Amino acid sequence: MTEQILKVEQVEAIALIGLNNPPVNALSADLRAATYKALQILRSDDAIKAIVIYGEGRFFSAGADIKDFGRATEKPTLPDLLKDINDSSKPIIVALHGIAFGGGLELALAAHVRVGVSGLRAALPEVKLGIIPGAGGTQRLPRLAGIRAAVDIICTGKEVSAEKALEIGILDRLTNDSARDAGIAAANDVLTGKIPANSTDGLSIAPASTVIDAARQKYTGGLKAPLRALESIEAATRPISEGLALEREIFLQLMQSDERAGLVHAFFAERATAKIPEQNAGLQEINSIGVIGGGTMGVGIASAFSIAGFPVTLIELQDEQLKRARTIIDLNLSGALKRGKMKQEAYEKTRDILHFSTNLTDLAKTDLVIEAVFEDMDVKTELFKQLDNICKPGAMLATNTSYLDVNTIAAATKRANDVIGLHFFSPAHIMRLLEVVVAEKTSPELVATSFNLARKIGKIPVRAGVCDGFIGNRILSRYRKCCEYMLLDGAEFDQIDSALESFGFAMGPFAVADLAGLDISYTTRKRKAKTRPVEERYVRIADLVYEQGWHGRKNGCGFYVYDDSKIRVPNPGARDIVTKERAMLGIEPQTFTDDDIVARCLTTMIQEAANVLDEGIALRPVDIDAVELFGYGFPRHRGGPLHMADQIGLDTIIDRIRTYAEEDDYFWRVPTLLKQMLSKNQTFADLNISPEK
């Protein structure tokens, strides 16, 4: 009976349905139909008194297949199947193990008895994709666990442990048996009366207006999905048919929203970056890591590998800095333990596998060495010359440079094929993006190994070619210039920050500059000064702020003034600098609306992203979106700049660039790629499928 997608058997008076749709038992249209058909047949058999549904493989079910959403309305729909389960005259027991997410958990909620296996994780994560549970989750979970628990689980999309699921009423029993055995045992107990079998839909729930009102206040002004979820949860106090109808209506409305489209694009972007030309190359064995530099980046990189269980040796030539690095890494590791990113056993083991030294020769036998020293080409090339002599043959040599030419760094060695860029983002033990910068002579094995390592330490790797700033910082540089031009021309720095934060960025560009340190960006601008084109408009405001001794948050003053609570207040001195600079240049301030600010920033990001793509620095549009989403705080529900470009339309983007070019025809130029795409009626989504231009 549908052996490939279901495993159906009988043990005495109990029928067993094993979901068998690897790798995660996604509830595809085919699996829904097969399960529905199996239930009809089994219920008509008088010899069968109870039915158990469990999952084959590692998981019960990860829920609906996102790629299968286009078939969501095919009969039987998931709501159809779950109503059939709930209405069954024979008790249906669901045995959960591994994960029960989304539709998988909704299926369990519709059953008459739920038994869990230790280690189970349950969740209704739909809000993370811009939708709500659409198969009864907002109606049945409140009936079993109460409105407060339902709001907490559904509106955040967070995971619930097996123990918590038992405590709040999702599970009737928790066991260490296999899911199949646990289901059989529970079914026998149902048949002997030891466990009552109840229809979830027949349960009632008391209103909880205080809980709903507090949650509504919390989520107002944010994404749509949590608020719409609250609306549906509140309806759980009505008859089940009314609540299910409202839930489905909201679900289908959100399926058509831009928010959902952006979040789904972000979901797939996280996975799409793994497709690289070198993905079938052999992997080098990496069992030990060396990190050079005890500053913020070095400490973060060492922490990231330590948290993942790699033996790490951190090199810092200054004793005092080495001591400070040790203290910060200890804090990072204890923080990872508290957040559940490390288990106690692994945390204790780091004491034996984490080493500190002031001697580079201690890296002689290390498999991978990553430098995170001062961003200066002479410093880095001299270091790589030393590493060339110290490190064993075949060792990977990586630079964490944010901007510098990896080809030049590689050329300082006699083993350029062993050199690669691994550009982490600060704080490196938390930020998920890793730009893997492939130089001219980098071996394919190094690239494949870097991607494999990235996944082991929980990073999202994106392949980048060599240019100043690679993908992310190159686009960031352009974005910052756009903001500086608007600042000089009449917008205020706090208005620019506020507009972009309202758009969805966690912080605006001037607040970010303060956070990173105005000394860092000042150094970068000075490095580029000699090669700056004479036609380029240059804004001195950030330089003048820095030269006042205002370095940002690190000394309490930059574009903003910070108190002990880190609350930012616009710095009057910075405002004066802006006003004087405008007057000196004879600029009459113009008015910018928040929409103007967002449109210009987004347009220049798309403009530069198109150039990055056209030059082959990025493989695909989705790689650029991933960089912006996971490294630069681009709002996830917007999907990324190139996803938004498709929504806006290339004709509109090109018209904007041409309009802005009337003010500055050097900065604003229509990229060749955009013209070609418009002439071929192509979208960036098309280029993700086929990279030919």
List residues with catalytic annotation.
Answer: 106, 126
Q: How far apart are CA 503 and CA 491, in angstroms?
A: 17
How far apart, in whole angstroms, are the C-alpha atoms of residue 430 and residue 427? 6
121-123 and 160-161 strand pairing = antiparallel
Look up residue 190 and give its two tokens.
């149902």
Per residue, the 3-state secondary structure of 187-202, as one string, reads: HHHHHCCCCCCCCHHH
Q: What are the structure tokens assigned to 417, written together?
A: 């094929």
Going by C-alpha positions, the residue among 606, 489, 586 that lies closest to residue 541 is 489
**247: its two tokens:** 């839930």
The pair of structure tokens assigned to 312 is 């790490």
The residue type of 156 is: T
What's the rounded Cα separation, in Å, for the pair 466 and 419? Answer: 13
Query: Can you say whether the dihedral through the CA atoms of 386, 388, 393, 399 is positive or negative?
Result: positive
* Tokens of residue 229, six digits: 């979820």
Q: Are 526 and 543 in contact (CB under 8 A)?
A: no
- DSSP conformation class of 27: -
Region of 639 on the Ramachandran plot (φ > 0 left; ψ -120 to 50 alpha; else beta): left
Q: Cis check for the bond before 621: say yes or no (omega within 30 of 0).
A: no
The answer to whether the CB of 170 falls within 8 A of the CB of 122 is yes
My answer on whether omega of the bond before 635 falls inside 30° of 0, hence cis, is no
CB 486 within 8 A of CB 592: yes
Distances (CA, A) of 637 to 128, 234, 479, 600: 9, 25, 20, 19
Q: Cα(14)–Cα(42) distance, rounded to whole angstroms?
A: 10
Return the closest-CA partner of residue 488 out of 576, 402, 579, 417: 579
| The token pair that represents 493 in the structure block | 């720095």
For residues 43 and 90, give the distance between their C-alpha atoms in angstroms, rounded to a whole number. Answer: 7
Helix crossing, 509-516 with 472-489: angle to 10°? Answer: 120
In angstroms, the CA 483 to CA 601 distance is 7
Which residue shows structure tokens 């549904």? Answer: 53
- Site of tokens 């008015």: 591
Rounded distance, CA 570 to CA 481, Å?
A: 20
Report how far residue 204's alpha carbon sits from residue 183's, in angstroms, rounded to the nearest whole number: 26
Return the bridge partners of 576, or none: none
98 close to 182: Cβ distance less than 8 angstroms? no
CA-to-CA distance for 681 and 690, rounded, in angstroms? 14
Residue with tokens 């804090």: 331
Number of neighbouring beta carbons within 10 Å of residue 207? 11
Alpha carbon 575 to its chain centroid, in Å, reads: 36
